[in-house]
Amino acid sequence: MQIGKKIRNFGFIAHIDAGKTTTTERVLFLTGSNYRIGEVDEGTTTTDWMLEEKERGITIVSAAVSCQWNGHQLHIIDTPGHVDFIAEVHRSLRVLDGVVVVFCGVSGVQTQSEAVWKEADKFKIPRIAYINKLDRIGADFDNAVNEIQIKLKANPLPITVPVYEEDSLIAIVDLINMQCWTFLEDGKIDQSQPIPDSFQEKASHYRENLINILTENDDSLLEAVLEEKVTSELLQKSIRQGAINLKFIPVLAGSSFKNIGVPLLIDAIVDFLPSPIEAPAIEAYHHQKEQSVLVKYQPEDPPLLYVFKLQFNKEMGPLSFARIYHGTIKTGMTIHNIRSKKEERILSILKIYGDKFERLDQAEAGDIVILVGMKETTTGDTLGIINNKLSLENLYFPEPVIFMKVEPRNAVDQNKFITARQNLMLEDPTLTYKEDNETGETLIGGMGELHLEIFLERVKSEYKIDINSGNPQVAHRETPKDLGQLTHLFESKIGGNTNHVEIDISIEPKERNSGVNLQSNLSAKQYTQDIIESAKKGIYNALISGPEGAYPVIDCSISINDLTFDDAKNAVLAVEAAASICTTNLLRQIGMDLLEPLMRLEITQPESFTGAVIGDLQSRNGIILDIIKKHEQDLVIAKAPLKNLFGYATGLRSITQGKGNFTMKFFEYDKVDT
């Protein structure tokens, strides 16, 4: 148990360009893992190791690194901030015990800040908020804290605050010890000094607020306050307890690029984020008991691992990123995959340093490692001993909103392209593949233009394949125009037997984004479960490709009202076929509306360009949802059809003289405007 207490599995999550990777670099340098500080703009960071990441200056795939601080082992995952790669955040959070949410001190809570916060909420992960970039003009620590409270409905607890001198960030005040810290140029602590007289009143106000929030959640601390026996140790213990129990969010101040405040952040990670022993239990399915159970850190139990990410390496083949929840694993041991029911041998165990690795003889519960040699393993698999009965909760990823026709220029590269496509899809589960029904061409689906651009660049750079690609195509959907009911008689020979099936189905349209609700009104006493499930399977098969344009059908309620059939050998297959045909015919009879994806945009630009930005959005059939003024800049929030937003980055640069920035994410499906 002692080893588990000294481990911190955490990640950095944030809106794009809030400073996650820059902060990670400072952490690696200050902990002695790196001997120089890498910079995003120079393409020299440890965690942005892919060529595409270095060229674009953004994080595309989550990267795991390890380091040590004051006797603690830190396993860090630096995640992407761009909305196209939100799945990377989702699967990283699945295995983390805590997170540091990085906010820009100027922009505060942004769109993707809210998205990643909600992802952390899903997994009930304790977190720390780090207000970064407080050296910049327009930075406002108090405003950022206020937005965390209002927009994220959280309870922020500032424990360090910035000190300015003539608008320059010069120091950080630690409210626990009531000390003022200055920093050297390389980010290391320079010295502790008394809090400046000009800041004493403000510091006392922050300290009073800190104690008030803590005593609301900690009776023992309240008693110490009343007896005037408050110590730094008591405050630290109370903060740790409240943070792990999600009572509040410790908030720290700093500027990673200017190397101010990061050592205090690392201390807070150790002091206030949970170890694997204290982390919330995760849900698993017990196959023998046929029910959900909770899994906690158990170093003495047989091995139990969760694979949350795959990555292909030219020399070593597939690398399986895994979190160990139970037991110890060793190089050379055989491990059982509960999904595939196959056994695989662990050829090597690696500790992760960006794209560099350290070989280990063994790894224990609480560790995040790479397994080499797992050829049958994929993202979301649970590994353990052969009689293991537990499956950890699987991951579910959003469906693509955009497709692109892709083919190799040379026919001789076809097999290489198939290999590249399969490998990249295993690495990134949000990439999908299908064939065009009319032309037979390959269609690659993704979460946005940038997502598909990165796919094409990786095929070219990593697999040396020249690619032809078509224009992006949106992923349409269909929905019924009206309600309807149909009885269908199905007669067919299956396996030499003539089958007669009569099925009655009704369909009703539902409000947008409500999904599909399929219910059976058949009596469980009269029909076997196999028959009911086969009818449902047939309906779902019909919904995969609707009658209007072969697009998936959404936003409707479907009922199976009645069913009669011959008690023949192949009745299950006949019922499935009858249900599928009946559904298709009914949808065609009542008519379909074609739906298209609408995207939510947030565009930031100097106020002098706001009129041009709004005019351009309206020309793209966009609807303005809000305009927010921030420090001589305007934030325009809008929604618009995805089909009209291809190439928007280039258009925005043109109308704002390169001074505009935007984020875009899926908003909803709506009827195509004819």
* C-alpha torsion 549→642→428→325, nearest 10: -110
DSSP letters for 43-78: T--SS--SHHHHHHTS--S-EEEEEEETTEEEEEEE
Give the other-Cβ count within 10 Å of 376's Cβ. Answer: 13
- Stretch among 3-17, 55-69, 327-341, 524-538 having the lowest mean pLDDT: 55-69
pLDDT tens sequence across 117-155:
999 999 999 999 999 999 999 999 999 999 999 999 999
By C-alpha distance, which of 507, 472, 499, 667 is closest to 587? 507
Average pLDDT (27-45) is 79
CA distances from 66 to 39, 91, 263, 356 (A): 18, 18, 16, 11
Calpha distance 134→401 (Å, rounded): 36
Give the other-Cβ count within 10 Å of 153's Cβ. Answer: 9
Structure confidence at residue 49 as a pLDDT band (50, 70, 90): low
Between 665 and 171, name the one with better pLDDT.
171
- Give Cβ neighbours of residue 479 (< 8 Å, ≥ 6 apart): 509, 553, 554, 555, 556, 592, 593, 595
Calpha distance 99→364 (Å, rounded): 21
3-state SS, residue 581: helix
Residues 326/351, Cβ–Cβ less than 8 Å: no
**What is the token pair recorded at 557?**
């309620």
Gyration radius from the chain CA atoms: 28
Q: What is the pTM of this model?
A: 0.83
Is 465 a residue whose pLDDT tops 90?
yes
Measured in degrees and rounded to the nearest 5, phi and psi for residue 371 equal -105, 130
Q: By CB neighbour count within 10 A (0-12 exposed, 13-18 middle, 19+ buried), where does 173 fall?
A: buried
Residues 62/92, Cβ–Cβ less than 8 Å: yes
Give the orientation angle of helix 262-272 with respect to helix 20-30, to 10 degrees.
Answer: 90
- Stretch among 50-59, 509-518, 560-569 having the lowest mean pLDDT: 50-59
**What is the token pair recorded at 363?**
């790894």
pLDDT of 320: 93
Please count the helices (runs of H) and the strands (runs of E) in the chain.
16, 38
Q: Is the dihedral of CA 191, 192, 194, 197 positive or negative?
A: positive
pLDDT of 351: 85
Average pLDDT taken over every residue of the chain:
90
pLDDT of 355: 52
Calpha distance 86→549 (Å, rounded): 29
Calpha distance 631→612 (Å, rounded): 19
Measured in degrees and rounded to the nearest 5, phi and psi for residue 557 equal -115, 130
Residues 29/288, Cβ–Cβ less than 8 Å: no
Residues 442/433, Cβ–Cβ less than 8 Å: yes
**What is the token pair recorded at 188?**
């290391």
Structure confidence at residue 1 as a pLDDT band (50, 70, 90): very low
Calpha distance 605→632 (Å, rounded): 9
Average pLDDT (212-222) is 93
Average pLDDT (103-116) is 91
pLDDT of 352: 72
DSSP letters for 73-93: EEEEEE---SGGGHHHHHHHH
Calpha distance 626→637 (Å, rounded): 5
By C-alpha distance, which of 326, 425, 451 is closest to 385? 326
pLDDT of 494: 65
- Size of the chain in residues: 674
Residues 325/306, Cβ–Cβ less than 8 Å: yes
Give the other-Cβ count within 10 Å of 145's Cβ. Answer: 22
Is 377 a residue whose pLDDT tops 80?
yes
Average pLDDT (579-606) is 93
Is 44 a residue whose pLDDT tops 80?
no
Measured in degrees and rounded to the nearest 5, phi and psi for residue 562 equal -155, 155
pLDDT of 674: 63
By C-alpha distance, which of 488, 477, 483 is closest to 557? 483
Calpha distance 234→237 (Å, rounded): 5
Is 410 a residue whose pLDDT tops 60?
yes
Scanning 181-252, the segments in alpha helix (DSSP H) are: 197-217, 219-226, 232-244
Is 673 a residue whose pLDDT tops 80?
no
Measured in degrees and rounded to the nearest 5, phi and psi for residue 637 equal -110, 125
Between 617 and 187, name the one with better pLDDT.
617
pLDDT tens sequence across 250-276:
999 999 999 999 999 999 999 999 999
Structure confidence at residue 546 as a pLDDT band (50, 70, 90): confident
Name the strand (E) or helix (H) holding 571: helix 571-590
- Stretch among 37-41, 105-109, 330-334, 595-599 having the lowest mean pLDDT: 37-41
pLDDT tens sequence across 229-242:
999 999 999 999 99
pLDDT of 569: 66
Between 47 and 347, name the one with better pLDDT.
347
* C-alpha torsion 206→210→213→217, nearest 10: 180
Calpha distance 59→16 (Å, rounded): 8
- Give Cβ neighbours of residue 585 (< 8 Å, ≥ 6 apart): 486, 488
Binning the chain into helix, strand and coil, the percentages to the nearest 5 are: 30, 35, 35
Average pLDDT (490-498) is 75
pLDDT of 552: 92
Residues 14/20, Cβ–Cβ less than 8 Å: yes
Q: How far is CA 498 from the centre of its chain?
A: 50
Between 112 and 96, name the one with better pLDDT.
96
CA distances from 366 to 135, 345, 361, 604 (A): 37, 21, 16, 41
